[in-house]
Chains A and B, each alone.
Chain A
Amino acid sequence: MAKIIHKEALNHTTDLIEIEAQEIAKNYQPGQFVIVRANQYAERIPLTVVKTTKKTITLIVQKVGYSTKEIGHLTIGDDVLDVVGPLGNAIEIHDIKHVLAVAGGVGAAPLYPQLYAYHQKGITITLVLGAKSDSYLILEDAFKAICDHIYITTDDGSKGLKGFVTDQIKALLDENTYDHAIAIGPLVMMKHVVALNKKHQLHTDVSLNPIMIDGTGMCGNCRVTIGNETYFACIDGPDFLGDNVDFDELIARQNYYQDEEHICRLKLVNEDE
Chain B
Amino acid sequence: MHNQSPSKRIHNFDEVPLGYTKDQALLEASRCLDCKNPLCVPACPVAVQIPEFIKAIKEEDMEKGYKIIYQDNVLPSICGRVCPQEKQCEGACILGKKHSPIAIGALERYVGDFGLSSQQEITITDNHQKIAIVGSGPAGLSNAYSMRKLGYNVTIYEALHDFGGVLQYGIPEFRLPKAIVKQEIDKLKTLGVHFEKNSVIGKTITIDQLFNEKDNQAIFIGSGAGLPRALNVPGENFSGVYYANEFLTRVNLMKSNDFPHHTTPIKVGNNVAVIGGGNVAMDAARTAKRLGAKNVFILYRRDMTSLPARKEEISHAEEEGIDFRLLLNPVAFKGNNYIVNQVVCETMKLGEKDASGRHRPIGTKTYQTIDIDSAIVSIGQSPNPILSRTTKQLETDQWGRIVTHDYQTSIPGVFAGGDVVSGAATVILAMGAGKDASIYMNQYIQEKRS
Residues of A near any B CB (own CB < 8 A): 23-24, 27, 37, 41-44, 66-67, 81-87, 213-214, 216-221, 223-225, 230, 235, 246, 248-249, 251-253, 256-257, 260-261, 263-264, 267
Closest B residue by C-beta to A219: B246
Residues from chain A with a CB closer than 8 A to the CB of B265 are 257, 260-261, 263-264
A221 nearest CB across to chain B (Å): 5
Closest A residue by C-beta to B226: A218
Residues from chain B with a CB closer than 8 A to the CB of A235 are 385-386, 389
A217, B243: Cβ atoms closer than 8 Å: no
Closest A residue by C-beta to B228: A220
User: How many A-B pairs with Cβ below 8 Å?
Assistant: 123
Residues from chain B with a CB closer than 8 A to the CB of A225 are 237
A252, B260: Cβ atoms closer than 8 Å: no
A219, B237: Cβ atoms closer than 8 Å: no
A220 nearest CB across to chain B (Å): 4
- Within 264-314 of B, Cβ neighbours of A (below 8 Å) are at 264-265, 267
Closest B residue by C-beta to A251: B338
User: In the complex the two chains form, what is the Cα distance from A177 to B244 in whole Å?
Assistant: 47
Residues from chain B with a CB closer than 8 A to the CB of A267 are 260, 263
A248, B338: Cβ atoms closer than 8 Å: yes
User: In the complex the two chains form, what is the Cα distance from A273 to B222 in whole Å?
Assistant: 47
B291 nearest CB across to chain A (Å): 13
Secondary structure type dominating chain A contacts: mixed
B263, A41: Cβ atoms closer than 8 Å: yes
Closest A residue by C-beta to B264: A43
Q: 3 tightest A-B contacts by CB?
A: A260-B265, A252-B338, A218-B226
Closest A residue by C-beta to B258: A41
Residues from chain B with a CB closer than 8 A to the CB of A82 are 161, 197-198
| Residue from A41, A67, A248 whose CB has the most chain B CB atoms within 10 Å | A41
B386, A214: Cβ atoms closer than 8 Å: no
User: In the complex the two chains form, what is the Cα distance from A221 to B238 in whole Å?
Assistant: 11
A27, B203: Cβ atoms closer than 8 Å: yes
Query: Does B344 touch A at the CB level, under 8 Å?
Result: no
Query: Does B249 touch A at the CB level, under 8 Å?
Result: yes
| Residue from A44, A85, A213 whose CB has the most chain B CB atoms within 10 Å | A213
B264, A220: Cβ atoms closer than 8 Å: no
B384, A216: Cβ atoms closer than 8 Å: yes
B246, A84: Cβ atoms closer than 8 Å: no
- Within 203-232 of B, Cβ neighbours of A (below 8 Å) are at 203-206, 209, 226-228, 230
User: In the complex the two chains form, what is the Cα distance from A84 to B158 in whole Å?
Assistant: 10
A257, B338: Cβ atoms closer than 8 Å: no
A41, B261: Cβ atoms closer than 8 Å: yes
Query: Does B200 touch A at the CB level, under 8 Å?
Result: yes
B244 nearest CB across to chain A (Å): 9
